[in-house]
Structure 1
Amino acid sequence: MSTVRPRATVLGGAAMALANVILGASSLYWRALSHVSPTALLGYRILISLVTLGVALAVLKRIKPVFDAAFNGRLLLLHLMAAVLVSANWLTFIWGSVHGHVLETGLGYLIAPAVTIVLGAGVMRERLDPVRVVALVLCLIGIILLIARSHELEWWVYVTIGTTWGIYSFLKKLTTADPFTGLTLETAILAVGVGVAILASTYSLAPGPDADTSDFVLLALCGVVSVTPLWLISFGAKKITLSTAGFLQYVLPTTQLVVALVFYGQQPSGNTLVSYATVWLSLILILVYPLLHTRRAGNTATKPPALAEDRRAGP
């Protein structure tokens, strides 16, 4: 058992890290499809992701939970709200990737955990310790500085990404559906919306006059680009602790920062770097303090802390 657990933990951590790298680097994929409008790209992402998820769930024989969730009023409403949020998040991310605002999208994913914590405190009445209060204040200061002084950034991009993903993550904590079931239900809801938009408005999935064969090949991969990170996260989450998963959420915005600097050539000002660092510091406080607190508590317990952690990490 002792030889299997470390190996499983390494595999789980690698899967989660790879998922976040794919998500962070996916800006390059969307930029390669710049001939297609962001709204059309969103439609393709929804429809092709639904097909990909449907095939995956059919192979795994997990179609029934989707129908069970669809006929559960509470779950349907929850995932309807989540669908609206994730569509706004996807559209903003695609727009930022196509138009060269990747620093902003990465910053949004740094802000999102703070939004989730605020919702947990305000809605679920979760108690905030003083360190988390300080962290949230730092995050707010960083955001205000960015909006007020970093004029080279599109502030609405990181605010939209941060709030939609933060609220989406909060809603996902309330659902009893597994990640694949939840995303399939949300994507199905959005697919209905795409169909209605096509029939009732001028919305079109036409890729545009400049699209070529390579664009159609890339469009066909929308589902793989969207679903593969979800599968990796689902696989990895079962094999690592929540604290490890928390640290691995740094990988996505870090990847976005590298992509923005290296591939997009974005040049953040000094004000932007200071504000960015302030938000990073707030997230470090949010993640590190609970670990230190748990370790101190574990040292005084009669049961070895490694055993307690091993149970949390169990499948």
Structure 2
Amino acid sequence: MESGLGYLLAPFISIALGAVVYREHLTTRKTLSTVIAFSAIAALIISAKQLNHWTYLLIASTWGAYTYIKKLTSLDAINGLLIETLFLTICLALVTIFLELPVVWPYELPTQSGHLIWLAGWASIIPLLMFSYATGKIPISITGFIQFILPLTLFALALLLRTQAISNTSFTLIISTAGLLIILITYDLIKPRQP
């Protein structure tokens, strides 16, 4: 639930950065959908019990900062991902050494686990490359609207696969917010532009 909320709040950071820093114009419908969605999420946070607030705030702020850095950098998608991978590898090595964490080498894993690790790598790299490429080409506020796909997917997985308990109020807020966002943004995208 907290990870879904974090990724649900992150697009608002991108939308705000686009409007404030990059002076991107938001249509009335996009502004309305943003306000409605943010209000529904605030109501969801207030009504939810036993939330770890630091978890979703940390996820939202780091993903929002990541999107901003992607927009700011002059690196292309592949070089940017290479720098990120090197940085994370160094951080992981330092944490492993200083915290004396156990290391499991690939040859120590069952064959099926090795295949799943490779699959997980590709499942991470391809969307990150596409995100990096798109962030450099489209306005950051539009990137924010597209980012709503991830949290809605996380909520759907939490509800359907993990059978995570959720209150009727939270469920109603999530479904109504998602539906309203989809309707307003789709209408704004397919409506013919006025000359």
User: Would you call these one fold, judging by a TM-score over 0.5?
Assistant: yes
Between the aligned partners of 1:234 and 1:168, the Cα distance in structure 2 is 10
Tell me what 1:52 maps to: none
Query: Does residue 112 of structure 1 match 2:112?
Result: no
Contact kept? 2:29, 2:188, Cα under 8 Å: no
Between the aligned partners of 1:259 and 1:153, the Cα distance in structure 2 is 18
Per-residue deviation, residues 78-104 of structure 1 (Å, max 9, x unmatched): xxxxxxxxxxxxxxxxxxxxxxxxx44
| Identical pairs, percent | 33
Q: Unaligned regions of 5+ residues in structure 1, if any?
A: 1-102, 301-315
Tell me what 1:228 maps to: 126
Query: Does residue 163 of structure 1 match 2:65?
Result: no
Tell me what 1:270 maps to: 168
Between the aligned partners of 1:251 and 1:125, the Cα distance in structure 2 is 24
Aligned residue among 33, 37, 40 for 1:139: 37
Aligned residue among 171, 181, 203 for 2:79: 181
Q: Could you tell me how far 1:153 is from its partner in structure 2? A: 4.8
Contact kept? 1:108, 1:160, Cα under 8 Å: yes
Between the aligned partners of 1:281 and 1:187, the Cα distance in structure 2 is 36
Q: Could you tell me how far 1:180 is from its partner in structure 2? A: 1.9
Structure-to-structure mapping, 1:85-96, within 5 angstroms: none
Q: TM-score, normalised by structure 1?
A: 0.47
Structure-to-structure mapping, 1:289-308, within 5 angstroms: 290-291=188-189, 295-297=192-194, 300=195
Between the aligned partners of 2:38 and 2:113, the Cα distance in structure 1 is 40
Between the aligned partners of 1:246 and 1:125, the Cα distance in structure 2 is 14
Q: Could you tell me how far 1:118 is from its partner in structure 2? A: 0.8
Structure 1 pair 152–258 and aligned structure 2 pair: CA distance change class (3 A): same
Between the aligned partners of 1:272 and 1:174, the Cα distance in structure 2 is 36
Between the aligned partners of 2:109 and 2:47, the Cα distance in structure 1 is 41
Per-residue deviation, residues 150-208 of structure 1 (Å, max 9, x unmatched): 11554444433333223322322222322222111111122222233334x2242535x
Tell me what 1:148 maps to: 46
Tell me what 1:202 maps to: 99
Structure 1 pair 139–253 and aligned structure 2 pair: CA distance change class (3 A): same
Q: Could you tell me how far 1:113 is from its partner in structure 2? A: 2.2
Between the aligned partners of 2:144 and 2:94, the Cα distance in structure 1 is 38
Q: Could you tell me how far 1:252 is from its partner in structure 2? A: 3.4
Contact kept? 2:15, 2:144, Cα under 8 Å: no
> How many equivalent residue pairs?
186
Between the aligned partners of 1:285 and 1:111, the Cα distance in structure 2 is 19
Query: Secondary structure, in 3 states, of the residue corresponding to 1:295?
Result: coil
Structure 1 pair 295–247 and aligned structure 2 pair: CA distance change class (3 A): farther
Q: TM-score, normalised by structure 2?
A: 0.70
- RMSD value over aligned CA atoms? 3.7
- Which structure is richer in relative contact order (CA contacts within 8 A, separation 6 or more)? 2
Tell me what 1:123 maps to: 21
Q: Could you tell me how far 1:264 is from its partner in structure 2? A: 0.7
